[in-house]
């Protein structure tokens, strides 16, 4: 009952707490809540959390975003973890700020980290959780926005959203992908980029 949980991001102080590094932030929160610490390993920083008989291997790749697949492939093989027990946490420009959506599989959606994972693994059939970072930027400013740091207001709002994703990771290990999507995808939706507004209506799974 071992799971590889990968938070995508870029290493280095210049990328710390940026929008593109929301995957790192989720794993930092999970480890902190569990009293675990990260240690440097091959292709990334590693930590381990045990919860209700499950072992969660936490990976923050050190390959930089565009080569994330190298780290994922190495640790899947080293830890002998089946691909269905892989879960990737990733930022998404197409979702409103703080919106959370889990999928059992899917395209990379233009995300370079997911694209490289798909390429190296030879499949896109693995679970992932996308976290909306919004798209409040002017034309030509996408890179600066994605690599920019959160405002104080955004970060305060996101703390609660990150806590939900940590709960989803635990649910993924205990209940599996489908039940986790059913339980969390509706509650995880946000109707707009204004923090705190939840969307009504049925959720997707």
Closest CA relative to residue 131, chosen from 5, 29, 31, 19 = 19
Q: How far apart are CA 6 and CA 55, in angstroms?
A: 14
116 classed as catalytic: no
Active-site hit among 19, 20, 101, 111:
20
By DSSP bridging, strand 100-103 and strand 86-92 are unpaired
- Order of all β-strands in the sheet with 39-41: 39-41, 44-51, 54-61, 2-7, 86-92, 128-132, 100-103
SS3 33: helix
Tokens representing 104? 């059992």
Catalytic residues: 20
């Amino acid at each position: 009952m071992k799971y590889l949980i990968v938070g995508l991001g870029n290493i280095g102080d210049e990328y710390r707490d940026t929008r593109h590094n929301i995957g790192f932030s989720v794993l930092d929160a999970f480890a902190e809540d569990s009293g675990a610490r990260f240690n440097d390993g091959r292709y990334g920083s590693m930590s381990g959390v045990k919860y209700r008989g499950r072992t969660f291997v936490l990976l923050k790749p050190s390959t930089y975003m565009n080569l994330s697949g190298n780290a994922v492939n190495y640790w899947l093989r080293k830890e002998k973890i089946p691909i269905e027990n892989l879960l990737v946490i990733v930022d998404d420009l197409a979702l409103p700020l703080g919106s959370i959506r889990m999928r059992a599989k899917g395209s990379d959606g233009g995300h370079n980290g997911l694209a490289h994972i798909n390429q190296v693994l030879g499949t896109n059939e693995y679970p992932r959780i996308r976290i909306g970072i919004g798209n409040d930027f002017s034309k030509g400013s996408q890179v600066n926005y994605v690599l920019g740091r959160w405002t104080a207001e955004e970060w305060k709002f996101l703390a609660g959203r990150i806590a939900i994703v940590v709960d989803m990771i635990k649910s993924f290990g205990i209940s599996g992908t489908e039940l986790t999507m059913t339980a969390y995808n509706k509650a995880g939706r946000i109707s707009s980029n204004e923090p705190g507004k939840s969307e009504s209506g049925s959720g997707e799974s």
